[in-house]
Amino acid sequence: MFELPELPYALDALAPYMSAETLEFHHGKHHQAYVDKLNELVAEGPYKGKALEDIIRQAVGKPEDRVLFNQAGQHWNHSHFWLGMKKGGGGNIPGTLEKQLITDFGSVDRFRQEFKAACIAQFGSGWAWLVFDGEKLAITKTGNADTPLTDGHAALLTCDVWEHSYYIDYRNLRPKYVDAFLEGLVSWEAVADRFEATVQ
């Protein structure tokens, strides 16, 4: 049985950048619905007992498994999203990660610009990602439940740009939400830990 992950912070801890109301709906209702449907779909059949990552990799691209893939991908993506934020986020980036961002993007500011641009350019629902592609850091975006896992990339940071992630707090102002995410929500320590674990 898959379970909704507990948030590593209180519901009101991310305010004013992300409200308790948004977390109640986004985590407690939207994410929970994906988990419930996923458990229903894997209760019997060839995916029963498989790890989440294996389900995603094996179901991708199969029309008959698209509903399953959507639930599994959304569960994985959201779990990654929650753990990439913290109370008092933003701020300084740990040294190793900062050096790599400068190497691969030219500057931290350039990375921020390109990441924000990816968030804004994702048409409709989806995600923007900072990934390690095996050689360097890169920015990608995925639609709906798609995930870098299926491209063999290591996901380091994601911003959820589905409307339910920001509409309560920012209405239709996605750029304002992305600014708040980068300036006040990202746990750069978590991103750096993911990076170091990936390159070791």
One digit per residue, the tens of pLDDT, for the chain of length 200 reads: 999 999 999 999 999 999 999 999 999 999 999 999 999 999 999 999 999 999 999 999 999 999 999 999 999 999 999 999 999 999 999 999 999 999 999 999 999 999 999 999 999 999 999 999 999 999 999 999 999 999 999 999 999 999 999 999 999 999 999 999 999 999 999 999 999 999 98
C-alpha 174/C-alpha 103 separation (Å) is: 28
What's the pLDDT score for residue 200? 86
What's the pLDDT score for residue 185? 98
- For residue 119, report the phi and psi dihedrals to the nearest 5 degrees: -60, -45
Answering whether pTM is above 0.95, one says yes
C-alpha 145/C-alpha 30 separation (Å) is: 13
Phi-psi region of 53 (alpha: psi -120 to 50; beta: other; left: phi over 0): alpha
Q: Which residues contact 177 (CB under 8 A, 6 or more apart)?
A: 161, 165, 166, 169, 170
C-alpha 179/C-alpha 115 separation (Å) is: 10
Indicate the angle between helix axes 95-105 and 188-199, nearest 10 degrees. 80
